[in-house]
Structure 1
Amino acid sequence: MKNSKTILSLLLLFLFFTSSNSQTNVDHTPTPIVATFAKGADIGWLPQMEATGYKFYDTDGIEKDCLQLLKDRGMNTIRLRVWVNPNDDKASGHCSKEETVVMALRAQKMGMRIMINFHYSDSWADPAKQAKPAAWANHTFQELMTDVYDHTFDVLNALKSAGVTPEWVQVGNEIPGGMMWPEGSTKNWNQLAQLLNKGYEATKAIDPKIKVIVHLDEGNNNEKFRLFFDNATANNVKYDVIGLSYYPFWIKKDYTETIADLAYNLNDMVDRYNKEVMVVEVGGEYDKAQNTYEMLAATIKAVEAVPNNKGLGVMYWEPQGEKSWSGYSLSAWQSDGKPSMALDAFKD
C-alpha cells in the first residue's frame, strides 16, 4: 500500500511537470516581429558642423553628442546623402563615400537604422537641378548605366564591409523631372527607367532585403505623383517604397491647408501601386516651433494611419542645421545650440 502511494505520487508529479512544461512552451511561443515605425533625420551637415567647431547642447545646457540629442527625442533612424565627387564646401560639399561610411557606422553603434540617399551628382540634386557628376559628363548612355550600377554597388559594399547594411536606399533625390539630365530626364522615360533599375539592381546585389525608394517632392500633390508613378509602372521601374517630401513652407501654405492632401496621397499611392510609403523629408520654420511641432505630429499621424503598416516612417531634413551655421530656415534648432521643442513631436 505504501509502495502504491509512492508510485501514485511520483506519477502525479510527472504529469504535473509534463503539463507545466507543455504550458510553458505554449506561453512562450515567439510572436511575429513588427517593424518599428521609423522616426529620424537627415544629418548630412553634421560632420561639417562638428569640423567647424559647432557645439550641441541639451536643454539643461550640458554639451552632448548631436546623435544622442536626436535619439533622446525619439528618433531611431539616420538618413545620409551621398555625392560622387563632392568638394570641401561646408554647406554644399562633403558627403563622400568615405564620410558616409564613418557617419553610418557611428549612427549604427548608437542603435540607429540607416537610409542612404544617392543623388548621382557631385552636389545637390532636386527638382530644379539634376546635374551629372563631372567625371561622367561625357559618357554615353550605356556608360552612364554602368556608372550608376558601379557607384551604387561601391558605396553600399564599402558600408557592408564596415559592418553596416542600410535598411533603405534611395535611388535619386526628388526626381519628378528625372535625374542625370538630359539622358535621365522624364522627357525620355525609357532611359530614366533603365538608370533607376541599375540602382535597384546594384542595391539588391548587396542585400535583397534592402528596400529601394523612389522619391518625389510635394508629397501633398497627388497629380504629380500619379503622373510620375504611372509612367514608372508603364516603363517597368523596379522599386519597393514611394518616398515623399513634405514642406508646407515651400508652397507658401500652412500645414493645416495641405495635411489632408498628404494623407490622401499616401493612401492613394498604396492603393494604386501596391507599394509602401514614407515621408523621407519634412521640415518647418525654425522660429515657429509650436507650428512646426504641430505639423510634425500631424505628419506622423498621417503616415501611421496608412493601412496594413505600409506607412513606414517620417524623417526630418537637417533638424540640427541651425540657421547661424547653415543659413537654412527650416531646421529645428535654436541659436543657443539646443534642439527646438518642435522635435518633441517624435517622442509621442
Structure 2
Amino acid sequence: MGEKRKWKWVTTSVTLAFSLIASAAMAFQANCEVEAAQKQTGITEGFIRGVDISSIVAFEEMGQKFYYANGNQGDMFDILKDGGVNYIRVRVWNDPYDTQSKLGYGGGNSDISKAIKIGQRAKAHGMRLLVDFQYSDFWADPAKQYAPKAWKDYTPGQKANAVYDFTYNSLSKLLSAGVDVGMVQIGNETMGTMAGMGGLYDGTWNLTTGVGAAMQKGCGAVDAINKQYGLSGNKAILKALHFTDPNTTASWYAEQAALQRINYDVFAVSAYPFWHGSPDELAASLKSVAKTYNKKVMVAETAYPYTFANADATGNNVSSLKDMSYSGYDVSVAGQKKAIEAVFMAVASVNMQEGTQGYGLGGFYWEPAWIGADVKKSGRYGTGFASKVSGNYELLFHDKVIEYATEDKGSSWDNMAMFDSKGKALDSLQVFCKIKDAASH
C-alpha cells in the first residue's frame, strides 16, 4: 500500500532479521450466478472476491469517470458488482490532514467519513466491508508505522487503550450508518511494528514490546462491538491480523501471535507475485498456518502490472523487470488476469486440505481503480500517493522527509490498475467472475 518502492529491500532486511531471530445492461456483464462450491476447486459459496478501492471517493470528487469495457459510463460499484466482486476493503487513517493547512496527506485522505461513504455504497450493492485500521495518520507498511499525531507521546499502554477506543468508536459509527462490516484488520502489514512500537523503533520484532498488547486490545474492541450489536455466527465481525512476505515470515509471525495469545480469527497476508514469489509457495504457506494454528487465512492485498507504461507525472512502483523479484507472468492485461487468478486459487487450495476446509476465505485486489492522477489536482483532492503537506507528518518523528513528500504527487500504481488511464475497465477485471464461476466446475 502507498508508496511501495522500498518494499523489496525493507522486506528482505526484515526477513534477514527474522532468520537471525528464529533461524446484462452492459456488454461485458458476465453471468456470475453459480451454485454452491465444488470440492475440486476449493471455491466456497461465500469465497471473497474483493477489491480495495479506498481512493474512489477522492477520484470521484475530482471528477473522474469510470466506464464498462464497452465504453459506457457507470458507477464504480455497479461495474465491480457486474465484474463479480462481492467484498470491499477500505483503509482508515486516524487523522490524515495537516494540522496547520488542514490539507489532506493524499492517498484518498482515507478517514472514517470516507469509509462510511464507501461502506454504505457497498451495502447498497450487496457487498460487505473489510475495515483496514492502520492506527496511523498516513500510510502504514513494512517501512513505516508512525503513530497518529494525537498518540505521539503515548506510552505503549496508552497506545493499546487508544487502539481499543478508536476501533470501538469507528465501528460504532460504521454500524450506526448501516454499513455491513464483515471483517476488521487490527493493523496493516504490521511485520512486528504498529503505531510507533516494535521492530522499526526498538529492534524487537516478536510483538512483545507493545504491539501484541495493542493487537489484543483491538480484537477486544471488535468482540465488544459484536456483543453490543448482537452480531454472532455468520454476522459476527471477524478479526484479522495482517502481515506481508507470506512465503518467508508468515509461519514465524503466526507463532508469535500464538505466543502472545492474541484472540484473532484470520491470518491475512499481502501476496504480490512480482515481489513475494509463486502462488504455489503462497498456497503451501497458507496451508501450514491454517493447519498449525487453526486460523482462517486470506490475501488482504495483491496486484500485478498490466503494463510498464506510466500514466502520469509520478513514477510507478514497478516500472520495469528490474523492479520485480519474480516475473512468472507476462506484463499484459492477460498476464495480470492470469496472475491474480493464480493467487486466489492458492487461497482456495486451503479448502482442499484435510482439516482446513472453509479456512481459505479469499482475497482482495489492491486499488484496481487508482489510475493516473493529475498532480495539479491531486493535492486538493488527495488522489496522489502523497501531497506536499504529507512530509510535515513524517517530520514529527524524524528530521527529514524520506517516505512521504514535500510536493504533490500522482499515482504510483496506475499500471497495476484494472482500468486504463481513461477509466475504462480492462478485461482482467473479469477474473472475479471467472473465480466465482470456478465454483461450478
Counterpart position of 1:91 = 106
Give me the TM-score of the superposition, normalised by structure 1. 0.84
Counterpart position of 2:404 = none
- The alpha carbon displacement at 1:86 in A equals 0.8
Distance in 1 between residues matched to 2:106 and 2:138, nearest whole Å: 10
More helix by share: 1
User: Which deviations, in whole Å up to 9, do the C-alpha atoms of 1:261-295 show, x marking residues without a partner?
Assistant: 01101111111111001111110003221111001
Whose relative contact order is higher, 1 or 2, with alpha carbons under 8 Å and at least 6 apart? 2
User: Which deviations, in whole Å up to 9, do the C-alpha atoms of 1:191-248 show, x marking residues without a partner?
Assistant: 21110001000011111521100011123x1x30111111111111111001111112
Counterpart position of 1:216 = 243
User: Which deviations, in whole Å up to 9, do the C-alpha atoms of 1:124-166 show, x marking residues without a partner?
Assistant: 0001100000110011222211110110001000011112241
Letter in 1 for 2:423: G
Structure 2 alignment gaps of length 5 or more: 1-35, 37-43, 98-102, 228-235, 308-331, 352-356, 375-410, 435-441
Would the alpha carbon gap of residues 341 and 91 (structure 1) be closer, same or farther in structure 2, given more than 3 Å must change? farther
Helix, strand or coil at the partner of 2:241: strand
User: Which deviations, in whole Å up to 9, do the C-alpha atoms of 1:292-347 show, x marking residues without a partner?
Assistant: 10011111222122121211111100001113552313222112311111121111
Letter in 1 for 2:369: Q
Of the three residues 247, 252, 257, the one matched with 1:227 is 252
User: Which deviations, in whole Å up to 9, do the C-alpha atoms of 1:29-65 show, x marking residues without a partner?
Assistant: xx9xx75111010011101100111110112211100
Would the alpha carbon gap of residues 233 and 96 (structure 1) be closer, same or farther in structure 2, given more than 3 Å must change? same
Letter in 2 for 1:275: K
Distance in 2 between residues matched to 1:182 and 1:195, nearest whole Å: 10
Letter in 2 for 1:226: S
2:57 counterpart of 1:51: no
Would the alpha carbon gap of residues 165 and 346 (structure 1) be closer, same or farther in structure 2, given more than 3 Å must change? closer
Letter in 2 for 1:217: T
Letter in 1 for 2:47: F
Structure 1: 4+ residue segments shifted above 6 A? none
- The alpha carbon displacement at 1:67 in A equals 1.2
Would the alpha carbon gap of residues 80 and 180 (structure 1) be closer, same or farther in structure 2, given more than 3 Å must change? same
Give me the TM-score of the superposition, normalised by structure 2. 0.67
Counterpart position of 1:346 = 432
Distance in 1 between residues matched to 2:258 and 2:209, nearest whole Å: 11
User: Which deviations, in whole Å up to 9, do the C-alpha atoms of 1:2-32 show, x marking residues without a partner?
Assistant: xxxxxxxxxxxxxxxxxxxxxxxxxxxxx9x
For these two proteins, the number of residue pairs brought into alignment is 309
2:276 counterpart of 1:276: no
Counterpart position of 1:42 = 52
Distance in 1 between residues matched to 2:156 and 2:242, nearest whole Å: 22
The answer (yes or no) to whether the contact 2:86–2:126 under 8 Å persists in 1 is yes
Helix, strand or coil at the partner of 1:132: coil
Distance in 2 between residues matched to 1:49 and 1:90, nearest whole Å: 15
Distance in 1 between residues matched to 2:205 and 2:340, nearest whole Å: 31
RMSD between superposed Cα atoms in Å: 1.9
Distance in 2 between residues matched to 1:173 and 1:267, nearest whole Å: 22
- The alpha carbon displacement at 1:187 in A equals 5.5
Counterpart position of 2:175 = 160
Letter in 1 for 2:60: E
2:149 counterpart of 1:134: yes
The answer (yes or no) to whether the contact 2:105–2:138 under 8 Å persists in 1 is no
Letter in 2 for 1:228: Y
Of the three residues 261, 273, 280, the one matched with 1:236 is 261
2:342 counterpart of 1:298: yes
Query: Among the aligned pairs, what percent are the same residue?
Result: 34
Write the mapping of 1:191-210 to structure 2, written as runs, cut at 5 A.
191-207=210-226, 209-210=236-237
Helix, strand or coil at the partner of 1:189: coil
Distance in 1 between residues matched to 2:64 and 2:175, nearest whole Å: 30
The answer (yes or no) to whether the contact 1:284–1:332 under 8 Å persists in 2 is no
Structure 1 alignment gaps of length 5 or more: 1-30, 252-256
